[in-house]
Amino acid sequence: MRRLLLRVVFSLIVISLGLIGWTQRHYVAARVDQLLVSQNTSGPAPDLATYKVLSRDLEEHRRRLGRRYLNSPPGNMRENIIFQARELLQLSLPHLMRCWLGTPWDFNGTAHEPGTGKVACGYFVSSVLQDAGFLVEWAPLAQQASQNILGTFLPAEKMTIRVGMDYDLFLDEMLLSGPGVYIVGLDSHVAFLVINESQELRFIHSSGSSPYCVVDESREQSQVLRSSNYRVTGNLTASAQVMRKWPQGETFTTFTR
């Protein structure tokens, strides 16, 4: 609760002064969250209150971008809106994911919000995307194989499949692919992989290995990602089609085969 109040108060101060734009306000507020988490010696815990605030805030801005897109002529103005949507999601999605940290994993877990039960890896991915404003079929998407989850958003040519590839070579290749929010499918797992502008890589997922909860791991800590023989990846926020469909509220029909 203290974390939520500090974030809201700080945002209101910045807004009242009119010093910076929304995207920058969101980033600075998120940095306050991170500092408060670092002071929590007991480790991260699910944060449903902040999650709901971030989700509602993001939805307002998604709708605003969607209206601007529809009212803009084809060309540079729409391309700029797509760029803004990409920037907004690359900042917002990781903070939504981190509100789930510490939520227990279970193979059959279907929790829809942080800390409200146990959550399987697919339901974690599906819930975060739905609460970020993606119009998805929540349960059918969560129950798909990882490549089908990716196929719901991206065509096959936008996916990269690597089998038996050395872990460090795989991650180096990922960094060369550029920043963004990726969905990653493994032998029997699905997760998010976030690469920021500073080339920092984070693996965020509901882990069926110790500590059996939602975790945010560095490349050195990501044993589940390291041990998988099969890895399929796709950059969600790099896709112009996804960034066009998201603000307009278009449905992402679950891919099955």
Q: What confidence score (pLDDT) does residue 43 get?
A: 65
Task: Please determine, for residue 4, whether its predicted confidence score (pLDDT) is greater than 80.
Answer: no
pLDDT band at 226 (very low <50, low <70, confident <90, very high): very high
Average predicted confidence (pLDDT) for the chain: 88
The more confidently predicted of residues 30 and 9 is 30
Q: Per-residue b/e over 205-228, b at no fewer than 16 CB within 10 Å? A: bbbbeeeebbbbbebeebebbeeb
Break the chain into its structural domains and give their ranges: 44-252
**Cβ neighbours for 115, distance < 8 A, ≥ 6 positions apart:** 45, 46, 47, 48, 100, 102, 103
| pLDDT of 2 strictly over 70 | no
Asked whether the beta carbons of 191 and 216 are under 8 A apart, the reply is no
Name the token pair of 152.
Answer: 């719901």
Average pLDDT over residues 107-123: 98
Section 87-95 average pLDDT: 97
Mapped onto helix, strand or coil, the DSSP state of residue 186 is: strand
Per-residue CA distances from 32 to 1, 9, 15, 48, 235 (Å): 14, 11, 15, 17, 27
- Looking at residue 14, its pLDDT comes to 38
Weakest-pLDDT range from 10-14, 44-48, 148-152, 252-256: 10-14
What angle do the packed helices 22-38 and 48-70 form, to 10 degrees? 160
Report pLDDT for 3.
52
Q: What is the pLDDT of residues 8-25, one digit of tens each?
A: 444 543 343 333 454 445
Calculate mean pLDDT across residues 191-211: 97
The pLDDT of 55-65, averaged and rounded, is 97
Q: What number of CA atoms fall less than 13 Å from residue 97's CA on the CB side?
A: 26
The pLDDT confidence band at residue 257, using thresholds 50, 70 and 90, is confident
Q: What is the pLDDT of residues 121-178, one digit of tens each?
A: 999 999 999 999 999 999 999 999 999 999 999 999 999 999 999 999 999 999 999 9
DSSP 24-36: HHHHHHHHHHHHH
